[in-house]
Structure formats: C-alpha cells, structure tokens
Structure 1
Amino acid sequence: MKYQICVSGAASGITVQASHQLAYDLGKAIAMAGKTLTTGATVGLPWFAAQGAFSVKDREGASIGFSPASSFREHVTVYRLPTTEFDYINFTGMAYVGRNIHLVRSSDAVITVGGRMGSLHEFATALESQKIIGVLLGSGGLADYVPTLLKNIEAPDVKNVIYDTDPFRLVDKVIKALDKKYADFIHDSTGSSANHLIRKG
C-alpha cells in the first residue's frame, strides 16, 4: 500500500540545528520505500524531510504539504512558508492548530523528530486517532521526552508507539506496523484502480 507517513518536528529552535540531517533521512527513507510523505508545509525539520524525499530519483511516493493558510498568497505572504519540495500543497485555511489535526488525521502514521509544542499537539492527536507512531530517539526536543511522558500519563494505544535511533530503521518498522494493521485488506486489481482496497473475508 502507498501509505501516507507524516514527519512531525520543530519549525525552529535547537533541534532543527541538531537534527536536520535526521529529518532529511526520514524523508529520504519514506520516498525510497515508495510511500507518500506528509508534512505541515513548513520550515525547519518538516522541510528538511521534504528535501530528503525530493532527493530520491524516480521516487514513487509524493511529498504533500498541509498549509495553515487558505491560499497560496496567504501561505507565502502571511505565514512565509516554503513552496518548493512539495508535489502538492493542501491549503487548509485552518491556522496552525486546525492544520495539525487535518495533517495527522489524513496520515496513516506519524513520525516525531525533535519537536516542540506543535509537535506535541500532533503527537497527542496521533495517539487519540490510534495512528501508528514512530519516535526518533536522539533527535532532541519532544522525541526524547516521549518515553518519560508516556510513563507518567494514561494514554491510549501506547503499544502503537515505535522507537529507534536510526531514521531508516524507524521508517522500516513503521511500514511493517502499517502492513500488520492493514493485513485484513488486499489490493483489488480487477476494478478500475489497482490501488482500490477490499476487506478480506
């Protein structure tokens, strides 16, 4: 399946300086696996992930950005966000808070790298939405605090949280978890679209 995998991370701050290569490698790993990368169409770590995806020659997966803006003009002039390294930008018009929810709910999995308050919002939304979640340990910020956070609060589906220190291994683990989650679905190649899915049984 061509899963949509979100890379969630800080737009600015120390983790961007420290972990930009890790974010880049996450995007690259997602594209190399033929999956679609989703991000907040923003600067910082998500943009490095988009650049990583775009570095893969003949990639099959797309890079989709979810903008807080309602139009291209607002995206550029009000929010001052990038427009390159995206195959498509969804102008949600929901500001940052609404954009975060739309981004996570539209993704099959969410991977946290670094991260601040916005990433915490996306992480909490992913947990509540029962998404497969990957956490890149060693990337600083929220990512390194997640294990402590989950030990101290009651959270749903903690079993869906996957940890690793290597971007490529983490993406591989997330994809395997998605394959397991969707094991009861198969591709229906007899219909008009080879990507149409039907439930087994």
Structure 2
Amino acid sequence: MRGTLFIVAAPSGAGKSSIVNAVLVRDPNICLSISFTSRKPRPGERHAEHYHFVSREEFEGMVAAGDFFEHALVHGDWKGSARQSVEPQLASGKDVLLEIDWQGARQVREKVPDAVSVFILPPSRQALEQRMRNRGQDSEEVIAQRLAAAREEMSHYGEFDFVIVNEDFETAVTEMCSIFIASRVRKDQQVARHSRLITALLADDPGP
C-alpha cells in the first residue's frame, strides 16, 4: 500500500530541524526527503545530508523541467522537494517526511490531500529571537528580517492538522512521534493494511 506523506513546518528558530532529527532516530518507519536549496551552506551543513545545495540557475532549471514536488522562495532563496525524492518512496509503501515551509505545505496539500501536516510554534516571540541569536550564524540585519518573516509564517498555523508548541524539547519530540503513530492506525490505513484479516473476522461462521 502507498506510504503516508507527513509535512512539518515552522518559523525559522522554532526548533523544527532538531525535533525532526530526534524523531527520525526514534521512528525507523519514516524517511526524510532531503530538500534542494539555492542558498549557501551554513557552518556545519553538508551537501546531500542537510540539503542538496545547488546554484540559483540550477534550481530554476529544475523548476522549468518540472522536477519539483513543491518549491517556494523563502527569505530570498529557493527551496524545494524533488519528485524523485518523494514519489518513488511513497509508491513503495514508505512514509516520507517533508521538512518545508507553509508555502510548500500548501502546494503539497493541493497534490496530496490526505497528507498529514504539523506546525511547530515557539513558546514565545522572545524565545524565538533568542534561539536565532544562539545560532551565532546570522547578522543583526538577517535576524531582524527573519523575525519579521516569522510572524507572517506563524499566521498560517491554522492550515495544518496538528500544532506543537516547542517549549520542552523532549515533550515536543514525543508529541510528534505520537502523531505519526496515530496517523498510521487511521481507519482507512488499517482497512487497506489488514483487509484479509477484517474479511476473515467478519465472515459467517463456517461451522464445525
């Protein structure tokens, strides 16, 4: 049967990547789709592990070729999920997680209405700013731009199926794992997975 597509989005600094990485360690039944981006790697980021880093020209060429499952312009840089990273895995029955922004999530929901989406919120705007500063990777100008964009991003939380407030990291990770587990035992999923069992259980008693 076809796998489930999970979407996780959050404003920059809300702890999305840290939560997702922890969930991937706990849940071996889900794989992460590595996104493409036209931005430069940040310190510690590695190609094909955190992102597929390509030039703006390469990215736009992929867009023109229809290679993306979804793509969006985020903070002046392109980000997107390639079809070859998503569709084959879903078709083979694997669950796939997309770590994207709300714009990409909206595109995905139009193509895959039964995708399960999660939005992560910070516990406060002060905490969000502090997390951005603790990275030590961005200038004051970039931090100001990200804070301004965060409010707009957070206003789209209502478009998602689930909302997690990342106040306590371990709690947030547990909540996300619970969402994934619960989604796999939805009625339609279980009927498809256990159709023979259900048929046998409901069959007329054949007698001795």
Report the TM-score, using the length of structure 2 for normalisation.
Answer: 0.44
- Higher relative CO (Cα under 8 Å, sequence separation at least 6) belongs to 2
Highest Rg: 1 or 2? Answer: 2
